[in-house]
A and B are shown apart, each in its own frame.
Chain A
Amino acid sequence: MSDSIQKIEDEIVEEFEFFPDWMEKYEHIIDLGKNLPLIDSERKIDENLIKGCQSQVWLDAELNEDCISYKADSDAVITKGIIALMIRVLNGQKPEDIVKADLSFIDKIGLKEHLSPTRSNGLVSMIKQMKLYAVAFQAKTQQS
């Protein structure tokens, strides 16, 4: 059983407080990006591309025993780092919890204000797509 979304968010906020300036925070995001497990190349298809991102971002999700597991990739490493944070928070969680998650850690670590407007819009698209998967899986589970 995974930790709750809130607990992981708090951990990330604490982790980012450890880096005093934004260059170090970026270095950390880049490291996370470099270590993000790769998505299978056959899943890097146009249907899995997130619209609204300046760099290419692929997102795929599946339901395993009531919990969602996400996989994602990008051609830009900072984007990959941001995806890695999102995946860390939402991976292995139940669809209903993902739908409800307010993801306030993004504001708390100052990520949005430190991104360019296009990147920030991309982040919003990414969150929207992750939540859409959760809504879809939730509907599917309720039907069955």
Chain B
Amino acid sequence: MLLIWLGTINPVHEMVSESKKMGALTLIDGAQSAPHMRINVREIDCDFYVLSGHKMYGPTGTGVLFARKSVMEEMPPYQGGGEMIKTVTFKETTYNDLPFRYEAGTPNIAGAIGLAEAADFMADIGIEKIEEIEHHLTAYAHQKLSEIEGIRFIGTAPQKTSVVSFLIEGTHPTDVGTIIDKLGYAVRTGHHCTQPLMDKYGIPGTVRASFSAYNTTDEIDGFSNAVAKAAKMLR
């Protein structure tokens, strides 16, 4: 749904509806969207939607796979194990009802409880509130960083979430990342596993800062100073 280093919000409704015209099933990777915006799978009308727990304040190793009931009813189970079978006779095996037939074996119970807590945590703050804070922080970061000489933002779509990807003229993104890491700011650097897109822009990678609802404008001031210092050291 989102491009992980550009932050661009893709028009999934239209993409799904166009795909349906071709008779395709649709799966939306919402790992980057779930932490930042309200998601309504009925409105999107997709067949599958996946999201990742650790990207929305939850434990690692957890996630959600939503599947449309009518699609699930037609699919065979992909894995066997405890709790996914209803009856076994010499003649036939009957699989359990939905969703249990897809949940073979002992599930990650502690992880699921943690993920539910994370979802409640987000709901308590309110997703609209989270969006509002993140939008403000992103705009502020753009404004502060644009004061740095030679900065070039990559990904400035009008509809975007709280990531800021950039390069500083005359420096390598990995070097900028190393210096600001020493100054206490964690960013992602490199090609973000999207080399074809990097090639399109003709760049070796970017520095990407991501903001969350718990960040503050003070932290962005510090971050921006760290980037300015790194630029000065490296050029």
Contact A116 B177 (CB under 8 A): yes
In the bound complex, how far is the Cα of B171 from the Cα of A30, in angstroms?
11
Measured CB to CB, the closest approach of chain A to B213, in angstroms, equals 26
Measured CB to CB, the closest approach of chain B to A126, in angstroms, equals 14
Measured CB to CB, the closest approach of chain B to A2, in angstroms, equals 30
What class of interface size applies to chain B in its complex with A?
10 to 19
Specify which chain B residues have a CB less than 8 angstroms from the CB of A77 in the assembled complex: 171-172, 175, 234
Contact A55 B174 (CB under 8 A): yes
B181 within 8 A of A: yes
B179 within 8 A of A: yes
Of the listed residues A56, A77, A79, the one surrounded by the most CB atoms of chain B closer than 10 A to its CB is: A77
Q: How would residues 104 to 125 of chain A score, 1 for a CB under 8 Å from any chain B CB and 0 otherwise?
A: 0000000000111011000000
Known: A30-B234, A77-B171. A56 touches B178 (CB 8 A): no
Contact B179 A55 (CB under 8 A): no
In chain A, what residue has the closest Cβ to B178?
Answer: A78
B204 within 8 A of A: yes
Contact A54 B190 (CB under 8 A): yes
Known: A26-B233, A30-B233, A30-B234. A76 touches B182 (CB 8 A): no
Measured CB to CB, the closest approach of chain A to B5, in angstroms, equals 15
Mostly, the A contact residues are helix
A14 within 8 A of B: no
Contact A56 B204 (CB under 8 A): yes
The residues in B between 183 and 235 inclusive whose CB is less than 8 angstroms from any CB of A are: 183, 189-190, 204-205, 233-234
Contact A119 B171 (CB under 8 A): no
Taking beta carbons and an 8 Å cutoff, which residues of B are in contact with A? Answer: 171-172, 174-175, 177-179, 181-183, 189-190, 204-205, 233-234
5 other contacts beyond A27-B233, A77-B171, with CB at 8 A cut-off? A26-B182, A26-B233, A76-B172, A77-B175, A79-B172
Contact sample, A vs B, 22 pairs, CB 8 Å cutoff = A22-B182, A23-B179, A26-B179, A26-B182, A27-B233, A30-B175, A30-B233, A30-B234, A75-B172, A75-B204, A76-B172, A77-B171, A77-B175, A77-B234, A78-B174, A78-B175, A78-B179, A78-B234, A79-B174, A116-B177, A119-B174, A119-B178
